[in-house]
Structure 1
Amino acid sequence: MSSLDAVTAWVTNYRKAWESNDPRDIADLFAENAAYFTEPFAKPWLGRDKIVEKWLKRQDKPGSTTFEWHPLLVTDDLAMIEATTTYPRKTFSNLWVLRLDNLGQARQFTEWWMRHPDPKK
């Protein structure tokens, strides 16, 4: 089940987990049997424990990014989110597909990320 309030809360908590890299913050985002697709056709990380493990292996340094987002679509079944992530030397456009359960945890999360061209080239 999705609503704009639930999606906003989830993205806020995702950003908190992104900045803290605290295993509890990460785990709280996902249902026990969630699937996290780091790219649309990648093999998903399956289950909360695996998601936490894989996240921590790829974590960003806290304070190293800025993040702006807005919802493109929110229905009872899914949310699509457009975002921009800026690192010190690179910027990415993001598209997220998020499916929340009745508790507001992700049961499925898929991200697309596209690096912006380097303006100096």
Structure 2
Amino acid sequence: MSRAQEWLDSYLRAWKSKDESDVRAIFTDDAEYWFRPNDAEPVRGIDAIVEMWAGDEPVEPEYAFEVLIEDERLGIIKGHVDYPGHQHYTNLWEVYFAPDGRAQRFVEWFMTPRKRADNL
């Protein structure tokens, strides 16, 4: 199994469990978590990331993700998340790995579907 796939599997486990030790296992102490690449500032540091992850989801999400490309320092992951009755997101993630395999920098590119015009 690849580094990026192992990290992705651990990310999904942490997302579901919301367990602090699961979250700490995938991000370095000094990690940056960017919700969008053009945000003014990321969530910075493992304690802030753990606190951010502690929040409840609006509903149980349905999701699918796959590793697109990777090397020893970077994984690119694509997928989608559907919060039934709430929102649907298409995602592209940049995961910059520390030598130990945890993410030192995580950049999320999430998109919402465009609204269709009635005449299209």
Scaled by the length of structure 2, what TM-score is found? Answer: 0.85
Output the CA distance in 1 between the equivalents of 2:72 and 2:2: 12
Q: Which residue matches 1:56? A: 54
Cα pair 2:75 2:95 within 8 Å, conserved: yes
- Quote how far apart the aligned CAs of 1:94 are: 0.2
Question: Please, which runs of 5 or more residues in structure 1 have no aligned partner?
Answer: none
Higher relative contact order (CA 8 A, sep 6+): 1
Q: Which residue matches 1:102? A: 99
Q: Which residue matches 1:34? A: 31
Question: Please, which runs of 5 or more residues in structure 2 have no aligned partner?
Answer: none
Q: Is 1:9 the equivalent of 2:6?
A: yes
Scaled by the length of structure 1, what TM-score is found? Answer: 0.84
Output the CA distance in 2 between the equivalents of 1:67 and 1:5: 20
SS at match of 2:54: helix
**CA displacement 1:54-100 (0-9 Å, x = unmatched):** 2224x426x71111112222122211111111111222100100011
Q: How many residues align?
A: 116
